[in-house]
Amino acid sequence: MRRPTKTKSTSMTAPFASKHAADRAGTKAFPPFRPHPLLKSGHAQTIAASYLHGAPKVRTAERDHRVRLDDGDHVVLHDDRPAGWGPGDPTAVLLHGLAGCHRSTYMVRATRKLNAENVRTFRMDYRTCGAARELATRPYHAGQSGDVLAALRFIARLCPGSPLNLIGYSMGGNVALKTLGENPGALPDEMHRAVTINPAIDLAVCCDFLTGPMQRLYDRHFARHLTRHVTGHSAFAEVSRHLLESPVVRIRDFDERFTVPRWGFDGIEDYYRTASSAQFIKQIEVPTLILHSRDDPLIPGHLFETLDRSECVALYLSDHGGHLGFIGVRGVDPDRRWMDWRIVDWLTGRVGISDVPQSSHRGWRLSISPPTAIGAPSLTAP
């Protein structure tokens, strides 16, 4: 495991006084997810999370940082610094999912809760997303670990000696896991912990999963969003015209016609294979928590039941929760957003690897069938 950087003692750094401290129990139990009684299905959780934002307005970031990439494009980091934060105090980078940006409500909620714990947060806009829309000539894609690594190194230079955490949602979870496992030795020494929620760890399997009767609604929704995203961007004018003349209805079609040629992949299978994080998770050296649900309508739960992962990676696989939903019952946490509080507990060290329920640990096998799709209305981008 990576040797921790010496920092002043804080509630976040204390659990990692030794290289084996990630295995120690924390100070708080890991509560299993119990869904809201009206949101038992994966579709209900997913759609409710999209519409019921539950995010108070967050002040505009104190400062936005433009991070220049090797090819001249930029990503943007939105810096939310708590009033009491000082050198050596913890930081966290948040990576949004497909169709998201720094304003995505799950990013805003986590930012507020982490800031309350004196964690300085950096919400990242990928190439062509949010504040970085006109700062890049190539689009983002699902495997851009190099861009995330550049952002992590930038923050390590900006906040030397501060524990550095990484949070990824959905597609951002895939990028986070790929970043952590692809070349562990390239990560900043400040790396501390990571959390991913519903990560799309195998892009080909996820796209195939979206061909189900009701999953097609999600596929069309995101395909339309991606088309709108590139339409009107000056760097994509020619491709945009072709997409408008012959619209795509699947994410896979969009990737074949746009992402693959733009990035020079050797076909769609080459893109999905090289960009998927599942192959790298067994190499992760940073203590990492993966949260996923078996009823996720976008990312099949069976991907995680035989996942080969390192001893530094804890997996919690719940029966319910949907995709970026996890809206739970009252009384477990200060509000119903169960996944937000698991992020806080993990990054602050209140929960350790040994606290994650045994049913989610490496080597556990369950004999269940993939969730059955049920009807769902159209989805708005989170």
pLDDT by 10s per residue, the chain, length 382: 444 443 333 444 443 333 345 555 667 789 999 999 999 999 999 999 988 876 566 556 679 999 999 999 999 999 999 999 999 999 999 999 999 999 999 999 999 999 999 999 999 999 999 999 999 999 999 999 999 999 999 999 999 999 999 999 999 999 999 999 999 999 999 999 999 999 999 999 999 999 988 899 999 999 999 988 888 787 887 776 777 778 888 999 999 999 999 999 999 999 999 999 999 999 999 999 999 999 999 999 999 998 999 999 999 999 999 999 999 999 999 999 999 999 999 999 999 898 998 654 443 333 223 333 323 333 333 3
**Which of 252, 275, 298 is the endpoint of a domain?**
275
φ and ψ of 308, to 5 deg:
-85, 115
Q: Per the domain annotation, does 68 fall within a domain? A: yes
**Which of 275, 292, 310 is the endpoint of a domain?**
275
Same domain as 244, residue 289: no
* pLDDT value, residue 4: 42
Same domain as 148, residue 100: yes
Tell me how long the chain is.
382
In 59-159, at which residue ranges do the beta strands (DSSP E only) sit? 63-68, 74-80, 91-95, 120-125
Q: Per the domain annotation, does 3 fall within a domain? A: no
Same domain as 321, residue 178: yes
Number of domains forming the structure of the chain:
2
Range(s) of the domain holding residue 121: 14-201+277-360
**Which of 238, 256, 275 is the endpoint of a domain?**
275
Cα(338)–Cα(328) distance, integer angstroms:
6
User: Could you give the C-alpha distances from 187 to 110, 145, 156, in angstroms and in order?
Assistant: 23, 11, 10
* pLDDT value, residue 227: 87
Same domain as 178, residue 102: yes
Same domain as 242, residue 159: no
Q: Per the domain annotation, does 8 fall within a domain? A: no
Q: Per the domain annotation, does 375 fall within a domain? A: no
Are 89 and 118 spatial neighbours (Cβ–Cβ below 8 Å)?
Answer: yes
Same domain as 329, residue 282: yes
Task: Please count the other Cβ atoms lying within 10 Å of the Cβ belonging to residue 289.
Answer: 25
Same domain as 217, residue 197: no
